[in-house]
A = this chain, B = another copy of it.
Amino acid sequence: MEMIKNKKITSRDVDFAKWYTDIVRNANLASYSSTKGCIVFEPYSYAIWENMQKTLDGMFKKTGHCNVYMPMFIPESLLKKEGEHVEGFAPEVAWVTHGGSNQLEERLCVRPTSETLFCEYYANKITSYRDLPKLCNQWCSVVRWEKETRPFLRTREFLWQEGHTAHATQEEAEKETYKMLNVYKKFFEEYLAIPVVVGKKTEKEKFAGAEYTLTVEALMYNGVSLQSATSHYFGQKFSKPFNVSFMNKENKLEYAYQTSWGCTSRMIGALIMVHSDDNGLVLPPKIAPNQVVIVPIKNDENVLKVCKNIKTELSRKKIRCFIDDSDKTAGFKFAEHEMHGVPVRIEVGPRDLQNGVVTIARRDTLEKTQIKISESANYVKHLLTEIQKDMFNKAKKHNDERTYVCNTLDEVRNVLATKPGFIKAMWCGDKECELKMKEINGLKSRCIPFEEEHLYDHCVVCGKPAKHMVYWGVQY
C-alpha cells in the first residue's frame, strides 16, 4: 500500500503544482487529447460535476430561475455591440470562419460568455413591465483562448453555468446580484465545505461591461487565491446598446436592468487544492459521487452477505455506496479509494465478523473505528455529517491562520516570502496602487469585502488616506 502511494504522488508540501497534476491523473479526473489546451472530463470528475450541477440547479430553480439554451456561436457584429465587453473578450475568442468548404460571410466566435445572445433574446421577448423579470440560466461550455492552461483551473474550453436576468427596476436587479452571490457562498460553504470571502471587485478587476462585480474568493492549501464564482450588476450598460426596453407602469419606455452570474468546472480544482492530501482526493460527502465504499477483506460468502446487508441499509438511508468485490488485494483497494477520496470506507473481514463488528475508516482524518454491524448504518450516516462539518472547519482554520493584516509593503513582501495567504490591507482606491501591488509576486486585489474593517488610516502602497479595506492575494 505504501509503495503504491509513494510511487504515484508528489507530496503537496514539496511541489504543490506537481502534486496537483498527480492527483488529477491518478484519481482519473482528467486526461489530455490532441485538442490542445482542453481536457477530457473523465467519468469520475464528470460525476463530481453532475453532483455540483444537480445541487446548484435545484438552488437556481428554488430562486425562480429556469434553464434555456442559446447558440454556441455569436456573430462578430453582435459581440461588438457593447464596447467594453468586446474589448475584454475579443482577444481571447476562437473564430469560426468556414462552414464546410465555404467561407462564412461574417465570422462567428465560439461563445466566451453569452450576454450578447441573452440581450438579443430579451430585446425580442420583452415589451412591457409585465414581461419582467426574466430569470434564465444556461448550462454549457464556453471557450477562451488561453495561452497557459491547467486542468480544471484554466482551460480553453470549460464547463459552466451562466445566469442572465432582466428586471424592471435597479433595486430589483441589484437585489438579484446579491442574492445569487449568496447562493454561491452557501453552495461553497455548505456543499463544497470551502469557506469563502465575499465582496465587490475593484474597477480594474470587474467583468468587462459590468457596473460592478461581486465575487466569491477562496483560499487554497498553498495560500493562493481562487476567484470561484461571480455575480455582475449591469445596470443599463447592455440594455441600452441592445435595446432591451419595456413600457413601465407609467407607460413610459425604459431600459431594463440586468445581471449575470456564473461558476465553472474550476470548482473541481478548488476541491482538490483545498481539501486533498498526499494520499489523493478528499471529497466532502455531499458532493462525493460515492459516499461509502464497502470492502470485503476476503471474498467469502459470509463476508459478502454482510457487505450486501450493509449496502441495503445504507441505500435505504439514501447514502450513495458500493461494494468493491473486485479481485484486487485489500491494500490496493484501500489506496485506490483513498486516491478517489471516498469519504468513508467500511472494511468487512472474516475475523471481525466473529466479533460482530466492522472497521470504519474516514478519509479526511484516516482514523479507523470498530463498530457493531447492527449499528454501522446509523453510525455512518452520522459520520458523513461530521466529516462534512469537520472538513469545513479545517479549511476555515487554515484560512484564518493564513489571513494577514499588512500595514506596509515590506510586511506584504514578508508574508508572500514565507506563508502566503489572504492579505488584508487598506487602499486609497487608485488603480496605480493596484498595479504597484501587482509587482509583488503578481498580487491582485481579490475584493472589497462586504464587511470592511477599518484596519488603519493610510493606503498600504502610497500612504494617502485609505478608502477601502481590500483582500489581496496571488491568484491562479
Asked if A97 is an interface residue, CB under 8 A from chain B, the answer is yes
- B95, A68: Cβ atoms closer than 8 Å: no
Counting chain A residues whose Cβ lies within 8 A of the other chain, the interface size class is: 35 or more
- B117, A35: Cβ atoms closer than 8 Å: yes
B residues less than 8 Å from A75 (CB atoms):
34-35
Task: Report the separation of the CA atoms of residues A278 and B141 in the bound assembly, to the nearest whole angstrom.
Answer: 38
Task: Report the separation of the CA atoms of residues A140 and B90 in the bound assembly, to the nearest whole angstrom.
Answer: 25
Chain A binding surface, main DSSP class: mixed
Task: Report the separation of the CA atoms of residues A34 and B71 in the bound assembly, to the nearest whole angstrom.
Answer: 10
- Could you say which of B34, B47, B66, B91 contacts A47, with CB atoms under 8 Å apart? B66
* Chain B nearest Cβ from A331, distance in angstroms: 18
> When each residue 24-65 of chain A gets 1 if its CB lies under 8 Å from chain B and 0 otherwise, what string results?
000000010111001111110011011000000000000000
Asked if A121 is an interface residue, CB under 8 A from chain B, the answer is yes
* Chain B nearest Cβ from A100, distance in angstroms: 5
Task: Report the separation of the CA atoms of residues A40 and B125 in the bound assembly, to the nearest whole angstrom.
Answer: 12
- A42, B68: Cβ atoms closer than 8 Å: yes
> When each residue 142-159 of chain A gets 1 if its CB lies under 8 Å from chain B and 0 otherwise, what string results?
010100000000001101
- B97, A98: Cβ atoms closer than 8 Å: yes
* Chain B nearest Cβ from A392, distance in angstroms: 28
Task: Report the separation of the CA atoms of residues A96 and B265 in the bound assembly, to the nearest whole angstrom.
Answer: 23
Task: Report the separation of the CA atoms of residues A150 and B345 in the bound assembly, to the nearest whole angstrom.
Answer: 53
Task: Report the separation of the CA atoms of residues A91 and B99 in the bound assembly, to the nearest whole angstrom.
Answer: 8
- Could you say which of B40, B50, B71, B157 contacts A67, with CB atoms under 8 Å apart? B50
- Could you say which of B47, B110, B125, B145 contacts A110, with CB atoms under 8 Å apart? B110
* Chain B nearest Cβ from A87, distance in angstroms: 13
Given A34-B78, A35-B108, A117-B35; A40-B71 close (CB under 8 Å): yes
B residues less than 8 Å from A68 (CB atoms):
40-43, 46
Asked if A476 is an interface residue, CB under 8 A from chain B, the answer is no
- Could you say which of B47, B73, B100, B157 contacts A73, with CB atoms under 8 Å apart? B157
